[in-house]
Amino acid sequence: MAYATGGLWLDEAWSAIHVYRTGSILGVFTSINHDNNHHLTSVWLQLHGPQASPLAQRALSIVSGAASVAVAAAIGRRTSNVAGLVAATLFAVSPVFVTYGAEARGYASMTLMVLVAILLVDRWAAGEAPAPRGPLAIVFAIGMLSQLTMLFAFFAIGGWILFVQLERARGWASVRRTLEMTSPALIVILAILSLVFVAPMIDGKGMSVGAYVPFTWAAYREAMIGLTAHLVGAPLLHSWPIAVILASLAVAVGIALPRRSFYVLAILCFPLAIAVLQPANPSNGRYYMLVAIATLVMWSDLAAWAWQRGTGFRYGCAALFLAMVGASISVDLALIRDARGDPDGAIRWIAAGSPQGSSVMLERKMGSAVYEVASRRSGYPLHIYINGCAPAAYLIVHRFRAEPFGDHSSYCGHAWRRIAEDRSEGLSEEGWRLYRRID
C-alpha cells in the first residue's frame, strides 16, 4: 500500500487512457484492441473513473497480492508449517511481488490465479480431492482476463498433471486423462484468446501493441537478471541469482520433491522455450512471472526439507531466509521512497508555478498518457502538446528505464530552465525532468 500512492507510471497510465476513452465496461472487451488491456484491471479502472486516487486505482492488485500471500501459505503448509511460513513471508516481501502487487496492472491477480491452480492440482495429485476440471477452468478464465501470460502457466500446470498421470497409468491412457482434466481450461483459454486477437481482425482494426522490439540475447539476459535479482532483493543486477535458482532446482529434483515436475517445467523449460522461440519484447521481466512464482514455492519446500535434516541445516536455512527477507525489505523501502518517479510531481510543480493553468510540451509522445492521467486526476487545467514544437510554457523530458535525460536547455528554438526532476529504479523504472521556458 505504501508503494501504491505515487502517480500511475507509463504502462499503467496507457491502460487507464484506453479505458477512459472507450467509456464503458463493454468497450473494455470490444473496443480496446491493444496488448496493454488487462481486462479485469481495465474494468476496475472504469468503475472508479479518472478522478480516483492511485491507491483506489491499484486496490484490485493490492487485494490480489495480499490474497496471494495467504494462498502461498496454504500451499506451503501442505508440506509443513515451516514451508507455509517461508512461502507466505517470501511472497509478502519479495520486491517482484511488492512491485506488481502495487500497480494497476493484471500481474498480481494473475499471480493469485497461478497459485490457486497450484493448490488445486496439488490437492488432486495427493489424492485429497477429485480432478478439478471446473475449478481449473474458472481459475484460468480469471487468470487470462487478468493477464495473457497466464497462458504460460497452463503449459506448466498441464505438464505437471501429465507427469502425475504417467505415474498412475502408462501410455495413451495418461494422455487421455490429462486432456480430460485440462480440456475445460483449454477451451476457456482459446475463447479468451479469440476475443482478444480474432475480434479486432474481424472489425478490421487489428491488434495494436505498445512496442515491438525484436528478440535479442542481450534483452533476454537483461530481463532474466532483472527479475531474479529483484526476486531475492539482490542489491546489484548480477547473474548469480540465476545460478542459485538453477542449483536449487537441481537439489529439488535430486531429493525428489513432490512438485518437482512443475518446478522443472516452470523454472527451466519455460525460459528455455522462450530462448528457442525468440518472441518479440524479450526484455520485459514481468513476462517471466511464472519463473518467480514457481521459485518461491520451490524454496519453501526446500526450506522444509532442510529444516528436517538437523541442527546444522536449520541454522543455514534460517540464515539464508533472514538474509533474503532483510535484503528484500531493504529494496522494498527504496522502491517506496522512489515511488516510480511519481509523475504526479511534475504536475504539482507546474501548478505551483502557474496556479490558473498552463501548457506543457512533451519531448516524446511516449509519456503523454502519464501526464494526461495525472492532470485529469488533479483537475488541473493543463494543455499537453505531443506533436513536435509548440508554444508551451513548460517542457517535460520523459525517460524509460535507464535512458539518459540529455541537455534540453535549448530546445525548439527556445531557452529553458530546469526546475525539477525525479527518477526511480526497479522493475517499473522511469523518470522525468521538467523545464520552464525563460525567453
CB of 41 closer than 8 Å to CB of 109: yes
pLDDT exceeds 70 at position 244: yes
Residue 247 burial class via C-beta count within 10 angstroms: exposed 0-12, middle 13-18, buried 19 and up: exposed
pLDDT band at 43 (very low <50, low <70, confident <90, very high): very high
**Number of neighbouring beta carbons within 10 Å of residue 314:** 15
pLDDT band at 251 (very low <50, low <70, confident <90, very high): very high
Buried b (16+ CB within 10 A) or exposed e, 29-55: bebbbbbbbbbbbbbbbbebebebebe
Task: State pLDDT tens for residues 82-140.
Answer: 999 999 999 999 999 999 999 999 999 999 999 999 999 999 999 999 999 999 999 99
What is the rounded CA–CA span in Å between residue 97 and residue 232? 11
Task: State pLDDT tens for residues 404-425.
Answer: 999 999 999 999 999 999 998 8
- Residue 206's pLDDT is 63
C-alpha cell at 346: 511534475
- Residue 208's pLDDT is 66
- Residue 205's pLDDT is 64
Average pLDDT over residues 23-31: 82
- Residue 279's pLDDT is 86
pLDDT band at 428 (very low <50, low <70, confident <90, very high): confident
Which stretch of DSSP H or E encloses residue 54?
Answer: helix 54-57
- Residue 408's pLDDT is 94
Residues whose CB is less than 8 angstroms from the CB of residue 63 and which lie 6 or more positions away in sequence, other chains included: none
Average pLDDT over residues 12-37: 84
What is the rounded CA–CA span in Å between residue 15 and residue 224? 25
Average pLDDT over residues 399-404: 84
**What is the arrangement of strands in the sheet containing 430-437, beginning at the earlier edge strand?**
382-385, 358-362, 394-400, 430-437, 414-423, 410-411
Task: State pLDDT tens for residues 174-213.
Answer: 999 999 999 999 999 999 998 887 766 665 566 666 667 7
- Residue 211's pLDDT is 66
- Residue 196's pLDDT is 84
